[in-house]
Structure formats: C-alpha cells, structure tokens
Structure 1
Amino acid sequence: MSDLKNLTEILETLCNVDGVAGYEDDVRETIEDMVRPCADEMFADTLGNLFVFKKGKYRREQVLAVCAHMDEVGFMVSRITDNGMLKFVTVGGVDPRVMIGRKLKVGPKKVPGVISLKAIHLTTPAERQIAPPVESLYIDIGATSKQEAMKYAQIGDPCYFDSPFTRFGDRHIVSKAIDDRIGCSVMVALLQEELEYDTWFVFATNEEIGGNRGALVAANRLHPRWFLNMEGTTAADMPGVPVHGQSTAQGKGVVISIMDKTSIYQRDIIDRFTKRADEEGIHWQYRRSGNGGTDAGSLHTASGGATGLGIASPTRYIHCACNVVYEPDLDDMLKLARLFVKECNDNA
C-alpha cells in the first residue's frame, strides 16, 4: 500500500468518528486502537489528551513533541422548547451562514436532526439580507413535544455534522472534521513507521474552543525543546477571492506558517526546512495570512519555551460541515512531517 493510500484510509476512519471539544473520547479510543501495536508508551491525562511515545534508533536528549488536535467544531444543546425543538450553541467557530439545512447527529444516541429556521416566506426583506443569528436557529429531531424530545436529547448533549467522508473529482476529499483529523492521521501514519529518534506524539483536546487548553497542559507535562504542530488551514482558491487575498491554495503543497494570532515561528528553522523540502522535492507554500491561532501558541511558550514548525493541509470551507482537501497536498504534508521528525535532533 502506498503512503498516501494508507494516510487517506486513516483519515477516512478518523473523520467518520465524532468528537467536538470536550467530547473527544471516541476519537481518542479509535486512535488508541490504531497505534497500540506500535507504541512504546501510551496514556491519557485528565483533560483527555492522548500521549504516545515511540522509540527510535537513537535517543533524543531533548523532547520533540508532535501535536495535532482531536476535536472538531460542532454544537451543544442549550434548551428544549415546549414543541420539541432543540436550541443550541456553537462549540468552536462555526459560521452561521452555513448552518441552515445541515443534517446533524444529536447526542450520544446520534439521533438524526436538521438545523432549521422559520420559512423564507415568513421573514422580512431585511432578515433575508443578513445571516440569521444562532439564537434564531433550532434543531428539529422530529419530536412534537418537550417530553418526547427529552427521550432522545438532553441539555448539554453534543451535536455533530452528519457529513461522511467522500472522495470526489480529481483526487479530492470532502468530509466533516478534516480540521484536524488530518494532523492526527499524519501522526498515526508516522507512528506506524520506524523512527530515527525517540519522539512524543500528542493528540490534543479542546483546541477549537480557544485557548489551546489541551496543548498547554501537554506542553507543561512534556517540557518539549522542539515541536511540530499540524493543522488544517484555510484555502481560499475559489471564485471571488483574488490571488493576493488567498491565504493558501490547493495543489501547491503543504502549508508552512510564518505567523498567526498565537505564534511567530523562528526564521532559522523555517528557512532550514523549506530548503530541505526543496531538496527532497516536497511541494510547499507559505501561509499568507496571520488570522487564527493554533496549538503552537501553547507549545512554543510553555515550560520555558520551545522551537518548532507549524504545518498544515490547505483546506477549503474550514469550520463548516464539508471540508475539502486535495490528496497530493496531504502527501506533501506527510513527507515534510517525516523529514522534520527525522532531522530535528539535539544537534539542530
């Protein structure tokens, strides 16, 4: 099996598991099952972070932590109305413009639901010109009363996009939760390989709700000297966005960040690995926007500070029900991650 085929099969498995922030248990258990045969040490902490250690051919005197977050954006039930509808809040930054009509899986029973709004012929002209606020939306699970709805859902239940992994077009993939199951998938793929040096892998929780809580706790436990953070990041190569406004574009390779809202990456390590990527024939591009933050914000500042790299797959329609990625970009992401893990050692 090719490396890319293996990676996309891992990605399919992980994307089809549900896990909004605070409810990552199923994702963590799936990853545990995948990596248990190749892990030398594995444990979870009280926040739900999964730590996996794999020995390499050589001991790494200072810790390298490779990190990606397990949680996806979604929703949580906040109230049940008398007529059986579910009011909700977002878990993570979901755009209200893309919510209406989306199918969901609600609560631990994964009850089918759909995000709904009053019919268009009941709205005013002014209401039709703006995205409806979340407060005006509700989830319809087919219940006709509060009592009936409470048989299937409770306040605090997580709700997940019902958008299964699908291949389409010219080597494209569409699914929920590619942010950041792609980073998790690359880590699983690396754990299945023989490594040059001892390496810690952190599958983190609670990234999408801000504050990088899981990664902060993980960094304070491991005290890394080096880190590699992997993400799905915004691709804007689409109609209506000029080239100079595109933060990243699909088909141009793995994304390397220079700066975002939580991190400024050190120029020497960026230059070193962009040069090595060129030498190895790995396609790459800079992230040309500083919007958004990642777990790198915690990894590089905790426990005295760490040096590292932030890389990502260019992903269309991020934080929506249907993320889209291009398989060759994922291949480049795996290759650069493998190169970093191999060559970021104590002498670097």
Structure 2
Amino acid sequence: MLLKTLSELQGTSGAEKKVRDLLQEEITPYVDSLAVDKIGNLIAVKKGAKNSPKVLLTAHMDEVALMVTEITPDGFLKFRPVGGIDPRILVSKPVKVSGINGVIGSKAIHLQKTQERQQALKLDQLYIDIGANSKEEAERYIKLGDYAYFVTGFEALGQAFFKGKAFDDRVGCYVIVETLKKRFDNLNLVAAFTVQEEVGLRGSKVAAYHTQPDFALNIEGTISADMAHIEEEEWVTELGKGPALSIQDQTTLYNPLLIKQVVDLAKQNKIPLQFRRGTSGNNDAGKIHSSRTGIPTLSINVPCRYIHSPASMVRQDDIQNTIQLVEEILRAIPDHFIF
C-alpha cells in the first residue's frame, strides 16, 4: 500500500530524496512531464486543453525529525529537533540514526530529585543511546548533522483507522498521487511535492513562484484533538467528519468566496466537510497565496491525531473523502469557480 510505504520512509526537511524518488516512480505513468527544481521540489505537469486554467496542487514531503548536534565523550548523541516537536513526548522512544538503532534516554526517575520530577524534561536533558561506550566508537557510525527518525510501523487499527508516522504530510502526498491517476481535460494540472515545509514553508515559495498558477490547492495533514479530556471547542478538527477546510491560520486568511464554493460543492456531492476550527499553525498555502501578484489558494486538510509525534492516527474514510473532494473541485474549476 502506497500510504504505508510513504509513512515508513525517512525524509525530513532537506533530506526528502527517498520520498521524492518513490513519488516520481509512482506518478510517471500519469503525467506528461517531471522535473526536480534547485531546492528539491518534485514538479509534475498533467496537460489539459490549451488555454485552460493552470491549477497547482501541493503537499510537502518532509517530516519532523531530530538532528545530531554533539557526540559526548561517553558515546551519547545530543540532538535538536527539525521542525516542531514537543520534548515531552521523546523520552524512551526508539529511533534510527543513519541506519543505527537507538533509544532516547534521560536520567532515570529513581535518580531525579523531587523538584526535577515535577518539571517536564527539556531537550538538553535528553540524549540518544546507540549502545556506544565512547565518542570514538559512536563516531564510527554517526557524524554531526545526521538525522534521527522515529521508528513506527504503519498498521490498521480497528475497522477504520491507520496508525503511522509522518502523516503530516505523506497523507497529502498520497491524495495527490491518487488524484493524478484521473483525467482532467478541463485544466492544466501542476503537482508540486514540496520540501522544507516544516522549517519555514520554503519549497512552496519556490514552486509557486516558478509555476505561476491561476489557482492553488494545498493538501495537508492537520491537527485533530477530538479526545475526552479536551474541551470540544479546542478539537480543531474531528476524525471521521471528512476533510477540513481552512478559514484562517497564522499565515493565510482564505477567500470567503472560494470557501463558499467548496462548501456548496461538497453539499452537492454529499461529501462530508468540516471547518478547521483553529488559527494556530500554518502550511504551504502561506507562501503560495502571496507569490508574485497573488494566487487564489485554498487548503484542504486531513484530520490527524497526535501530529508531530512518533505515532499518529488518521481515518480511512477521511482520506477517501478528501480525494473525492479534490477531484470535484478540480472538475468544477473552469465552469463554476470564480477566482
């Protein structure tokens, strides 16, 4: 299954090659041209009728991870996050560093003072243990700047859920791959699988400037907090309620007219749709919509529990409904969408 393979691949910001290579192999039969730009974005073109609108689909390939910044004299690896990771989730998590298995360690609770036990551990109190006895031994396998990735196998949970890592945003990449398998003679479709979203939306800025689309649709995995101990107004999105349409976030205020058109389209096609009820965070739309003279842009999000952590959860039907909604939007663009 493609989503399983995408989830289990290792590819953080600036190191997306394995993900890019797989995507290139998957979409080659369905597009007219492929290119990798200078920053590392994979750009695919699927031609439609001459003079038809040019639409940009985007999803980012990179995932959050850790970077080795120091090797201690006794062989432990100090690190810093690549992207936003809460240090409180890291203790005792298994990781893989340049093919070497390791575990994130800290001072055992039995050795902590009372005051230490009352405070969350900080990054500088954590380290990766790869079973080395000295700095020299660790340096045989690891060098500064190497990435450490969470070790999480993809699997189905219950009758409706998937568990895995990197659903932000490999789930968006999967949606675009499935979309490219369909024909869209009514528009010129450009798909950009972008790099370095987690560290500043960098790839999308380059892709949007280069491709100059008439309209852009960003597909993202976004936070879902529909859990018992969290008040409902803080859920942001809910699993099982369909794709979530962004209204506002930290870098984008989305066009109300475009939002209404998507809502109407979802109703007409009986596709469940929810709003992303939160303004924190951002995504590639933040750089796309302000490119050149401005690009009308929307963000369609797949709800995801435990985002930016070693293991996240999504619902199968949310993914399928996102694919259907994206298809309906693309088919409606020439005749029904007003930019």
Q: Into which bin does the TM-score normalised by the smaller protein fall?
A: over 0.9
Offset, 1:347: 6.8
Equivalent positions of 1:70-109 (< 5 A) are 70-107=61-98
* Aligned equivalent of 2:107, options 110, 115, 118: 118
Aligned to 1:214: 203
The yes-or-no answer on 1:256 pairing with 2:248 is: no
1:346 Cα deviation from its structure 2 partner: 7.5
Q: Distance in 1 between matches of 2:53 and 2:119?
A: 52
Identity of aligned residues (%): 38
The residue that corresponds to 2:43 in the other structure is 51
For 2:289, which of 294, 300, 304 is the aligned residue? 300
CA–CA separation in structure 1 for the residues paired with 2:250 and 2:50: 34
Residue identity in the other structure for 2:70 = R
Q: How does 1:20-169 map to 2 (within 5 A)?
A: 20-56=12-48, 58-107=49-98, 110-169=99-158
- Residue of structure 2 aligned with 1:202, choices 192, 204, 217: 192
Letter in 2 for 1:295: D
The C-alpha deviation readout for 1:120-152, integer Å capped at 9, x for no partner, is: 111122222222111110000111111111111
Contact 1:73 1:91 in 2 (8 A): yes
Q: Residue 344 of structure 1: SS of its match in structure 2?
A: helix
Correspondent of 2:272 among 283, 294, 297: 283
**Cα deviations across residues 22-66 of structure 1 (Å, max 9, x unaligned)?**
10011000101111111201000111100000123x345442110
| CA–CA distance in structure 1, aligned partners of residues 137 and 72 of structure 2 | 11
The answer as to whether partners of 1:61 and 1:346 remain within 8 angstroms in 2 is no
- Moved segments of 4+, more than 4 Å: none
Distance change >3 Å, CA 60–CA 151, structure 1 → 2: farther
Partner of 2:163: 174
Distance 1:317 1:113, change over 3 A: same
Q: In structure 1, give the amino acid aligned to 2:107.
A: K
Equivalences, count:
336
Q: Distance in 2 between the 1:215 and 1:333 partners?
A: 21
- Return closer, same or farther for 1:28/1:147 CA change in 2, 3 Å cut-off: same
Task: Tell me how far apart the structure 2 counterparts of residues 190 and 119 of structure 1 sit (CA, whole Å).
Answer: 49
Matched, 1:16 2:8: yes
Cα-to-partner distance string for 1:168-205 (whole Å, 9 max, x where unaligned):
11211111100000000011111112223220000000
Aligned counterpart, 1:223: 212
1:341 & 1:145 partners in 2: Cα distance? 57
Paired residues of 1:60 and 1:345 also in contact (CA < 8 A) = no
Match for residue 4 of structure 1? none
Q: Is residue 225–residue 305 contact of structure 1 (8 Å, CA) maintained in 2? A: no
Please tell me the root mean square deviation across aligned C-alpha atoms, in Å. Answer: 1.2
Q: Please list the CA deviations of residues 321-348 of structure 1 after superposition, one character each: whole Å capped at 9, or x if unmatched.
A: 0010011111111111111222223873
Normalised TM-score (structure 1): 0.94
